[in-house]
């Protein structure tokens, strides 16, 4: 059997698993709740605090921040969903014995792992892009704000999800399914907090504190990619209106991502995937 067919079969199986497990329904319910709540919130904002009384610049600023805030909720849902899907799909199958009959077929373990990863990537990115686009439309309909680079922003959100699920996959080859999900989400949260701490450091001009954010962003890329996505969602003038203190605000980003950082993200994903493969290949079932 060719490796390509194994990869495609396992990827399709992973997608089917995602669609049939309750995770999908949990994700869908959370997402719809978030969309409806944010739609209601944005419409109240437009009606009561009166976008009419704000200058157009201020209105765009508020809309940018709120969009970023809601998108953060969305990326958190995506992180939880994929991390808790990536864990069980590999270590859960190894523990339960499902993997025994699959891996006793004439298939390479690396092809099975690649198929799982690909299925999760399609699922996670598909969710983030669809839900993110829906959110952008909600904001556009309610307050008339459309982000400057929606495609880049959604792609970066998808990249953030891919980073986290790849990490979840690596963790699930060494620890139990639930633990791998918890650790992946914990690291995601820790990096975000480190990013906020770094932002405060920048605003205060404290280099040592600012470095916390930079270093954590290099080690786990979710926060860096998230900041890149925020930058693409927010109004270009938003950050300028805050001045240097804006760096401390967690739902604004001061700069778009450099190509070097994006290349590092690709290398990081390849590296973590390679580690996951090495660990999975050596595993006794």
Partner 1 sequence: MSLEVRRGEVVGLLGPNGAGKTTVIKMLLGLVHPDAGEAMLLGRPAPDPAARAGVGYLPELFRYQPWLTAAEVLALHVRLAGVGVPAPEQRDCLSLVGLAERAGDRVGEFSKGMQQRLGLAVALVARPELVVLDEPTSALDPLGRADVRDIVLGMKSRGVAVLLNSHLIGEVERVCDRVVILDGGRVAASGTLAELLGQRLLRLQLTDLSPAAQVRLAATGDVEQAGNWFTVTLPADDDATAVPDLVGDLVALGARVHAVEPARISLEERLLGILRAGDEGGAGGGDKQ
Residues in touch with partner 1 (CB under 8 A): 1-2, 5-6, 9, 13, 16-17, 20-21, 96-98, 100-108, 282, 284-285
The residue (of 87 and 224) whose beta carbon lies closer to partner 1 is 87
The least distance separating partner 1 from the CB of residue 88, rounded to whole angstroms, comes to 11
Which residue in 253, 245, 240 sits closest to 200, CA to CA?
A: 245
Closer by beta carbon to partner 1, 9 or else 214: 9
- 3 vs 214, which CB is nearer to partner 1? 3
CA triple 63-66-72, angle to 5 deg? 140
Q: How far is the CB of 248 from partner 1 (least distance, A)?
A: 46
Could you give the angle at the alpha carbon of 203 between the alpha carbons of 189 and 223, nearest 5°? Answer: 25
Q: Which is nearer to partner 1, 240 or 281 (CB)?
A: 281
CB of 5 to partner 1, least distance (A): 7
The minimum distance between CB 29 and partner 1, in angstroms, equals 19
Local structure of residue 146 (DSSP, 8 states): -
Q: Which is nearer to partner 1, 119 or 201 (CB)?
A: 119
CB of 128 to partner 1, least distance (A): 23
Shortest approach of partner 1 to residue 126 CB, angstroms? 19
Burial 168-198 (b: 16+ CB within 10 A, else e): bbbbbbeebbeebbbbbbebbeebbebbbbb
Half-sphere exposure of residue 41: CA atoms within 13 angstroms, side-chain side = 14
Task: Give CA torsion, residues 231, 246, 61, 147, to 10 deg.
Answer: 0
Q: Which is nearer to partner 1, 17 or 235 (CB)?
A: 17
d(CA 172, CA 96) in angstroms, rounded, equals 13
* 177, 95 contact by CB (below 8 A): yes
């Amino acid at each position: 059997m060719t490796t390509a067919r194994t990869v495609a079969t396992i990827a399709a199986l992973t997608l089917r698993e995602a669609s049939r497990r309750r995770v999908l329904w949990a994700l869908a319910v959370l997402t719809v709740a978030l969309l409806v709540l944010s739609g209601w919130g944005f419409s109240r904002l437009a009606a009561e605090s009166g976008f009419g009384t704000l200058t157009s610049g201020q209105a765009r600023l508020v809309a940018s921040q709120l969009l970023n805030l809601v998108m953060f909720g969305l990326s958190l849902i995506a992180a939880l969903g994929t991390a808790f899907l990536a864990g069980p799909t590999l270590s859960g199958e190894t523990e339960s014995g499902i993997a025994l009959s699959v891996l006793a077929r004439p298939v390479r373990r690396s092809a099975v792992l690649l198929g799982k990863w690909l299925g999760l990537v399609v699922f996670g990115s598909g969710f983030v892009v669809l839900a993110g686009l829906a959110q952008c439309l909600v904001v556009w309909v309610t307050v008339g704000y459309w982000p400057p680079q929606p495609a880049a922003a959604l792609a970066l959100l998808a990249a953030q999800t891919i980073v986290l699920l790849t990490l979840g996959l690596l963790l699930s080859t060494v620890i139990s399914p639930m633990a791998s999900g918890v650790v992946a989400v914990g690291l995601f949260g820790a990096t975000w907090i480190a990013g906020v701490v770094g932002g405060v450091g920048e605003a205060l001009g404290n280099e040592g504190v600012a470095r916390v954010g930079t270093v954590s962003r290099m080690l786990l890329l979710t926060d860096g990619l998230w900041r890149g996505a925020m930058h693409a969602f927010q109004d270009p003038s938003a950050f300028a209106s805050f001045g240097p203190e804006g760096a401390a605000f967690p739902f604004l980003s001061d700069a778009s991502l450099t190509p070097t950082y994006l290349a590092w993200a690709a290398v990081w994903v390849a590296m973590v995937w390679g580690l996951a493969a090495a660990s999975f290949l050596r595993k006794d079932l």
